[in-house]
């Protein structure tokens, strides 16, 4: 039996959910999609909670798509943004302003090796665009290698790197090769990193001139359904790519800033140091902010021309992003993610023993995936059941993400202030919903 989730009636004079929806349909184009049958109208956020117009409280286990790293409207971040907004909201990089340098310095201290040059942009897509440009300029080659099941953005170039057919359009996408995904649950080679690496080597040998621009991967695929790459894969692949003249790019848009619990960056879980790291989402706790960090040698290729971005490194976003780094350290969120994440995995694994519909439980820290299947042996996606459970969870006051090629993976990636009690509430809610189903 679950405790009733919170109603906290609050004054709200804004438009109703139906009015908001009507306006969006009319003015925001036909391709917007909504998570729930009756879309959720969010009017307020407070740390790990969201509130709808009736004052109904939801436990947010998806963090606005893995973006709200510290918690909705975190007071310290709010203060930093407010203070900066009152002084100066905008300055481009053609002038001097201290916030951008202070933030870049703080970010550079978080990077290993020679990754010391920072470029600020406005989103993950833009970060990966810039990373791809750098790789191509630095190597003098065009060919990019990415993984199947990857998500790296939705612009005309980065959509080429993305390899999930729900996001693809039929447009030419340049020289991009998608190699077999080192996915321990579904992958044809299980957890054998060497065989996956051999597939990548074959792509270079048979599908290119032998030279490539670069390789990009998430260490735990986010949109693809919390798929952690087979252990040891990146080490082997980075060697192969560098021998072929390419640079290695780590997409840390979801995995960065301690979310994995064991490490500050996802790539560290594989014992590698990339040549370029891209980040966004959690870096701004909801502000539009992204960054690319690279080595001075690679950054040098950008000095051939003017590198300029009107909003990149905007003072308000820089002050907010800098505050995010401080808060994550001060509140020891990486260690916290490790503890709560292990608890969550343990509880989901116990649930898996009682509910046949759970095919796989995976992840690290506060980046967890629960894959639902109708047949464990065949791993048949439980599409319809996932949709029913998803709605039921919302009814019970819990918001989770959905992912994977068939949308049958629950993605649990809450703000990093999520507690063990929150984890218990979430698992109990899912247990209850599955039992009912």
Residues lying near ligand PMP in the complex (CB under 6 A) = 65, 123-125, 128, 151-153, 218, 222-223, 251, 253-254, 280
Closest residue by beta carbon to ligand PMP: 124
Please report how close the Cβ of residue 353 comes to ligand PMP at its closest, in angstroms: 31
Q: How far is the CB of 304 from ligand PMP (least distance, A)?
A: 26
Least distance to ligand PMP, CB of residue 312, Å: 13
How far apart are CB 369 and ligand PMP at their closest, in Å? 13
Closest CB 372 distance from ligand PMP, rounded Å? 21
CB of 291 to ligand PMP, least distance (A): 11
- Rank residues 218 and 371 by Cβ distance to ligand PMP and give the closer one: 218
Write out the two tokens for 338: 């490790």
Question: How far apart, in whole angstroms, are the C-alpha atoms of residue 362 and residue 423?
Answer: 15
To the nearest whole angstrom, how small is the minimum distance from the Cβ of residue 83 to ligand PMP? Answer: 25
Kindly tell me the burial class for residue 429, based on how many C-beta atoms sit within 10 Å of its own C-beta (0-12, 13-18, 19 or more): buried
Q: Which CB atom, from 168 or from 332, has the smaller least distance to ligand PMP?
A: 168
Q: Which is nearer to ligand PMP, 17 or 164 (CB)?
A: 164
Residue number, 241 or 291, with CB nearest to ligand PMP:
291
Name the minimum Å distance from CB 254 to ligand PMP.
Answer: 5
Minimum distance of ligand PMP from residue 335's CB (angstroms): 24
Both structure tokens of 399: 């918001």
In terms of CB distance, is 128 or 334 closer to ligand PMP?
128
The Cβ of residue 428 has, within 10 Å, a number of other Cβ atoms equal to: 17
Q: Which of 255, 289, 285, 283 is nearest to 126 (CA)?
A: 289
Q: Looking at beta carbons only, is 66 or 200 nearer to ligand PMP?
A: 66
- By beta-carbon proximity to ligand PMP, the closer residue of 245 and 286 is 286
Report d(CA 122, CA 254) in Å as an integer.
15
- Please tell me the distance from the alpha carbon of residue 176 to that of residue 410, in angstroms, as a whole number: 29
Nearer to ligand PMP, 347 or 362 (CB): 362
Distances (CA, A) of 170 to 17, 29, 152, 167: 34, 19, 17, 10
Q: How far is the CB of 104 from ligand PMP (least distance, A)?
A: 19
Q: How many Cβ atoms sit within 10 Å of the Cβ of residue 155?
A: 15
65 or 301: whose CB is closer to ligand PMP?
65
- CB nearer to ligand PMP: pick between 256 and 341: 256
């Amino acid at each position: 039996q679950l405790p009733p989730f919170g109603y906290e009636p609050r004054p709200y004079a804004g438009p109703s959910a139906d009015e908001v929806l009507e306006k969006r349909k009319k003015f925001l184009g036909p391709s917007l999609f909504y998570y729930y049958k009756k879309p959720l109208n969010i009017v307020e956020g407070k740390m790990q909670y969201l509130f709808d117009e009736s004052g109904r409280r939801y436990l947010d286990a998806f963090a606005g798509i893995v973006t709200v790293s510290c918690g909705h409207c975190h007071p310290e971040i709010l203060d930093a943004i407010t203070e900066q907004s009152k002084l100066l909201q905008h300055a481009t990089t053609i002038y001097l302003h201290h916030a951008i340098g202070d933030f870049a310095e703080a970010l550079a201290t978080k990077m290993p090796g020679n990754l010391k040059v920072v470029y600020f942009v406005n989103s993950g897509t833009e970060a990966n665009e810039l990373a791809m440009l750098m790789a191509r300029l630095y190597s003098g080659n065009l060919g990019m290698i990415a993984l199947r099941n990857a998500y790296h953005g939705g612009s005309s170039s980065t959509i080429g790197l993305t390899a999930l057919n729900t996001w693809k359009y039929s447009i030419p996408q340049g020289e991009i090769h998608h190699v077999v995904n080192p996915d321990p649950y579904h992958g044809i080679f299980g957890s054998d990193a060497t065989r996956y690496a051999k597939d990548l080597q074959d792509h270079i040998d048979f599908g290119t001139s032998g030279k490539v621009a670069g390789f990009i991967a998430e260490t735990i695929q986010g949109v693809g359904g919390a798929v952690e790459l087979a252990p040891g894969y990146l080490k082997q692949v980075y060697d192969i790519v560098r021998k072929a003249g390419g640079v290695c790019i780590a997409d840390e848009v979801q995995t960065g800033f301690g979310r994995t619990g064991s490490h500050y960056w996802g790539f560290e879980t594989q014992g590698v140091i990339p040549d370029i790291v891209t980040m966004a989402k959690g870096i701004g706790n909801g502000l539009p902010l992204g960054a690319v960090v690279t080595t001075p040698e690679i950054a040098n290729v950008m000095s051939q021309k003017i590198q300029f971005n009107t909003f990149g490194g905007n003072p308000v976003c820089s002050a907010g992003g800098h505050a995010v780094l401080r808060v994550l350290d001060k509140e020891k969120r990486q260690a916290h993610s490790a503890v709560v994440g292990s608890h969550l995995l343990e509880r989901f694994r116990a649930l898996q023993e009682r509910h046949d519909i759970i095919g796989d439980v995976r992840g690290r820290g506060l980046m967890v995936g629960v894959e639902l299947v109708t047949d464990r042996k065949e791993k048949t996606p439980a599409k319809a059941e996932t949709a029913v459970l998803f709605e039921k969870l919302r009814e019970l006051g819990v918001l989770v993400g959905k992912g994977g090629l068939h949308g049958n993976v629950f993605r649990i990636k809450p703000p990093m202030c999520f507690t063990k009690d929150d984890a218990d509430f979430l698992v109990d809610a899912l247990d209850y919903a599955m039992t009912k189903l």
